[in-house]
Structure 1
Amino acid sequence: MKTIGLIGGVSWVSTAEYYSRLNKRINQLYGGVSSARVIMFSFNFEEILPSQLSEDKEREHALLVDAAAKIERSGADLLVICSSTTNMLADTIQSRVNIPVISMTDAIADYCVENRLFRVGLLGTRRVMYGQFLRDALEMRGIESVVPPLEMGDEVNRIIYEELVINKFIKESEKKIAACVEALKLRSVEAVILGCTELPLLVKSKRCGVVMIDCIDAHINKAIKMIGSIQ
């Protein structure tokens, strides 16, 4: 079995979910007591968060390249960055390592195309919703993305950075995210992308009345497909 490298800690809450889901999927595929072969570098989020909030891409890139290089030297066959916001740097990190970096943006776009979803809502951090890296990737595949009004988006961003990344799940915040989903549904979206790796832990997809695209599941599924293609 090939070894998966994980860059985590951004935040540890969603990284734990990645690790759990990845092992469950591997066990489903291989049976018995099979589990994933994993090498992980987990950040202290306090060290990388200032770079995210100030959009200091140079500093954030340096931290991620260092982590990726350590994982590659440890023997990983491919690399998964366990954070939607941080995946904006996946292409530049790929240029600095010799193992495949599994792009979350490609994974989400692939899911949309495979399921013929071409008008989708998008929730995530401010950089994900109102930046261009994910929206451009979707547009290149013929997928239109719809984001909530800025005031709603700012509240989603606050919930992520002040609550979810420290494992705080508040019922009122769940209701606010649900209200964002409803606002997007009114704009005729065919699905809503939960484009932050903490959001699937708060939002109960079955209650939303619309297809919810879980970015963690999409990312893990693409990584597992890649495992099968590596010689």
Structure 2
Amino acid sequence: MKQNKLPHQEMKTLGLIGGTSWHSTIEYYAAINQSINDYYGNNTNPPLLVYTINQAEVHRFQKINKWDSIAVMLKQAALGLHKGGATSVMFCANTPHKVFDVVQNQLDFPIIHIGDATAKAIKNKGVKNVAFLGTIYTMEADFITKRIADNGVDVFVPEEKEVLVELQRIIEEELTYGVIKPATKTYVLNVIQGLVDKGAEGVVLGCTEFPLMIFDEDLKIPIFNTTEIHSNAAVDYILKR
């Protein structure tokens, strides 16, 4: 039986707040467009708006702990996208969700949260314990991991400060520039294995740059690619699912 498709004129318009980094924003854009193409069976594209914020400024504010300034940047981006016709927006990265509540409380339209989408994907897979790798900000705080844990999933993050610092360096100095080094990949895989040894049954790539380097075939456990998961949530929104 032929599936009834949502008329393309009825797709919802979504705003993507990207640039953190633009390399992973491209992955979002490609994944969402491809999924919509697959859904309609042709080259129908979704009504997407993209706002690229200045990652250099974001990193500068992070280093001096000026998260309120990052929240202002995200709010301005969201309002600009809304003015352009977007009925919902998403931050195309994990770390900006540190100020999710601050920004959401100032908007009268929804932001699609990456942590909620990830928790749903983990539960659907039946995994009870996951390793979580991200920026130092997402690993030291719980604005992502708590939303996952609140869904009955145990979350393991690296405990050694030097590991947290090194993962942050890898993201900031290599991956956000699109640089993939074999030695770096080996290091990250070893960190993941250490968390698997502690009981993790899956791994959340909780920085949208890690999927540029770590792939399903690299591990024997399920990988929860937050770029892909968040993109799927975007498609569900666009198609009113």
TM over 0.5: yes
Deviation at 1:51, TM superposition (A): 1.3
Deviation at 1:133, TM superposition (A): 0.6
Q: Which moved more, 1:125-134 or 1:149-158?
A: 149-158
Q: 2: distance between equivalents of 1:98 and 1:6?
A: 17
Matched, 1:10 2:15: no
Q: 1: distance between equivalents of 2:196 and 2:136?
A: 20
Deviation at 1:131, TM superposition (A): 0.8
Q: Which amino acid aligns with 1:18?
A: Y
Residue 226 of structure 1 aligns with which residue? 237
Deviation at 1:12, TM superposition (A): 0.8
Is the Cα contact below 8 Å between 1:39 and 1:71 reproduced in 2? yes
Q: 2: distance between equivalents of 1:140 and 1:207?
A: 29
1:41 pairs with one of 51, 55, 60: 51
Q: 1: distance between equivalents of 2:137 and 2:121?
A: 21
Q: Counterparts in 2 of 1:62-211, with a 5 A limit?
A: 62-150=72-160, 151-211=162-222
Distance 1:54 1:205, change over 3 A: farther
Q: Which amino acid aligns with 1:186?
A: D
TM-score by length of 2: 0.91
Q: 2: distance between equivalents of 1:161 and 1:95?
A: 29
Report the secondary structure of 2:144's partner residue. helix
Q: 2: distance between equivalents of 1:187 and 1:139?
A: 17
Q: Which amino acid aligns with 2:224?
A: I
Higher relative contact order (CA 8 A, sep 6+): 2
Deviation at 1:211, TM superposition (A): 0.8
1:216 pairs with one of 223, 227, 238: 227
Deviation at 1:88, TM superposition (A): 2.2
Q: Which moved more, 1:147-156 or 1:205-214?
A: 147-156
Q: 1: distance between equivalents of 2:63 and 2:29?
A: 26
Identity of aligned residues (%): 30
Unaligned residue ranges in structure 1 (runs of 5+) = none
The number of residues matched between the two structures is 230
Residue 3 of structure 2 aligns with which residue? none
Report the secondary structure of 1:68's partner residue. helix
Residue 6 of structure 2 aligns with which residue? none
Kindly report the root-mean-square deviation, in angstroms, between the aligned alpha carbons of the 2 structures: 1.4
Q: Which amino acid aligns with 1:7?
A: I
Q: 1: distance between equivalents of 2:106 and 2:45?
A: 29
TM-score by length of 1: 0.95
Q: 1: distance between equivalents of 2:216 and 2:166?
A: 20
Q: Which amino acid aligns with 1:50?
A: R
Q: 2: distance between equivalents of 1:173 and 1:16?
A: 22
Runs of 4+ in 1 over 6 A off after TM superposition: none
Q: 2: distance between equivalents of 1:31 and 1:47?
A: 40
Q: What do residues 120-156 of structure 1 show as CA deviations (whole Å, max 9, x unaligned)? A: 1000100111211112112211111101232222211
Report the secondary structure of 1:229's partner residue. coil
